[in-house]
Each structure stands twice: as structure tokens, then as C-alpha cells.
Amino acid sequence: AYDYITTPFNLDELQLVVQHALERKRLKEEVKEKRHFQEMAIMDGLTMIYNRAYFDELIRREEDRARRYPQKFSLLMIDLDDFKKYNDSYGHPAGDSILKHVAQLFQRTIRTSDFVARYGGEEFVIITPHTDKIHASVLASRLLSMVNKSIIQVDEKTPLSVTVSIGLATFGDDASARDALIQSADKALYQAKQLGKNRVCLFGT
């Protein structure tokens, strides 16, 4: 209820109350629409996790925080193994289902203080604030295990299983700048791929 009128009423009063009610509803819809577009600007449209642009902002903030209050944070770079094979064999809708499933699995597994984003294509990144390499590797192993156990039902007759490779690097140990940290995690991911996929590799080990 936006307002009320008393009886007996006149048409001028009724018209004014209705106009006020419509105006308030219009303003509420504008606020709701603005909030929606603000959220969409930082979210990946397919997986509904953070997008690459917002990841760039998040890791910049973590770098600034780590410099201001000396602390470590870690970065996980995660790539779906042989993703092209699933697209070629089952079609792009199946590939989209896999990406959404894995993204939500990551979202449910990480801590509330962590951030997961789609880095591009079939690649994801996770920022773990206040986390050294040992504790970040525990999370990476848990994610690897969760993906291995997961069954993705792309349709009634097609259950699929996938694997991921994970590269991990830690700010303060492996890099002192965010760009170098991303490069270090990417090198660790490449090593995981070279060693046979479906594994975690830590930069520098």
C-alpha cells in the first residue's frame, strides 16, 4: 500500500493519490533495474560468477591490501581439461552446461572470503585472501577432488565427467606484483598440463 484515501472522496484527491502511487512504483522499478545492470557489469553472463574485468579489479585491491598490511594471498588458475572435445562431441549447449556446473561447484566449495571468476573460455581463477601456499594447495586439492567426483547431466541420457588442471602461485613468495603473480600461476598451470592434466602444480616446485 502506498497511500490511502478517506470517504467521501473527490476525484482530484483520488487522481493525486494514484499519481503518487505510480510515481513511487516507477522509482522502485528504476532502482531495481539499475541494481540489475550494476550486477551484470561485474558478472559473467553464462556462469553467473565474476567476470574477467571484475577479477582485474579484485586482484588489484588484494595487491594494494597486501602491500599496505604485509600479508600473503594466493591465486589459483584452473583450466578444464580437453574442453574442446566436449564441445565437438556433444555440442556447445553441453559445453555451456559443463562451464555452469563447474563454476557453481567452485562457488559452493570456496570460503566466503574467496573470489572466483571466469578468466576466459574454459579457464577460471580464484583469489584466496590471507592464504599462504600450503593452505591454498589444500583448497586446490579439494577442488580437484570435487570436480573428479562430480557427474554433469547435460541431458536425460548424457551424464559426463570432467577433470581440471590447477596452477597455484602466492603473492609474496612467487611474485611481488599482480601481473607477475598471474604469470606465475599460469606457468604452474602449464606445468600441470604438461605433466598429464588432472592435477595441481605449485609455482616453483
User: Nearest Cα to 101, choosing from 76, 80, 71?
Assistant: 80
Please give the distance of CA 48 from its chain centroid, rounded to a whole number: 7
Write out the three cell numbers for 94: 553441453
Alpha carbon distance 172, 72 (integer Å): 6
Active-site residue set? 122
Alpha carbon distance 147, 143 (integer Å): 6
Alpha carbon distance 172, 53 (integer Å): 24
The length of the chain in residues reads 205
Q: Residue 14 class from Cβ within 10 Å (0-12 exposed, 13-18 middle, 19+ buried)? A: exposed
